[in-house]
Amino acid sequence: MHKNLPKIGIIVGSTRPGRNAFAVAQWVADIAAERDDAIFELIDIADYNLPLLDEQLSALASARMELDYANAHTKTWSEAISRLDGYVMITPEYNFGMPAALKNALDFLHPEWNDKAAGFVSYGSNGGVRSTAQLRVILSELKIASVVPEVNLSLYTNFENYPVFKPAEVHIQQVNGMLKQLVAWSSALMQVRGTHHV
């Protein structure tokens, strides 16, 4: 295996009890496991127990002042995100937008996200497209390059009675199309950052 494969985090973007996000993320992880061009891992925001942003300084201000984060949960989250080269954001759409838990997790950090790439798998009554539209704007401020192909799943046709996830065959092709670009961009941005994995 090539030593310098990009490390891609599949981020479960909802922490709500009964969420569909974990099933969607696991499905993406299973598809990704068939690939040999990157190393993929699930990153579940719920595992990090992040409160509403409680750092006195913004992550960008802390970096500029060369100060460490004040809280242990921020440091743990920072370590998890820092070691990754790209991200697949699994996001539902809540009230025409992204989940508060995902926005909060993004806001905790800044330099850790910079000069990396992201792709999207969303779901909702309209496929979650308004959530990904918001994410593209926010990620641009975090210096994350978002790839164009995205996967949009409908609560009406891809979930049976809402909790049972039933993706279509075409969605597997869409995931692989998105991952192909995400891996290429993540690899290119590793060169920008001078990152070398052993």
What is the rounded average pLDDT of the residues 128-157? 97
Taken as a whole, the chain contains a residue count of 198
Q: What angle do CA 119, 28, 185 make, to 5 degrees?
A: 30
Rounded CA separation 187/194 (Å): 11
Which pLDDT belongs to residue 166?
93
Can you read off the two tokens belonging to residue 116? 């990396």
Q: How confident is the model at residue 163 (pLDDT cuts 50, 70, 90)?
A: confident
Q: How confident is the model at residue 195 (pLDDT cuts 50, 70, 90)?
A: confident
What is the rounded average pLDDT of the residues 24-37? 98
Which pLDDT belongs to residue 198?
55
Rounded CA separation 11/81 (Å): 10
For domain 7-193, give its CATH number from 3.40.50.1220, 3.40.50.360, 3.40.50.2300, 3.40.50.720. Answer: 3.40.50.360
What is the rounded average pLDDT of the residues 88-110? 98
Which pLDDT belongs to residue 1?
45
Domain residues of the chain, as ranges? 7-193
pLDDT over 60 at 6, yes or no:
yes
What is the rounded average pLDDT of the residues 59-83? 97
Question: In the sheet that 116-124 helps form, which strands lie side by side, from edge to edge?
Answer: 39-44, 7-12, 86-92, 116-124, 144-154
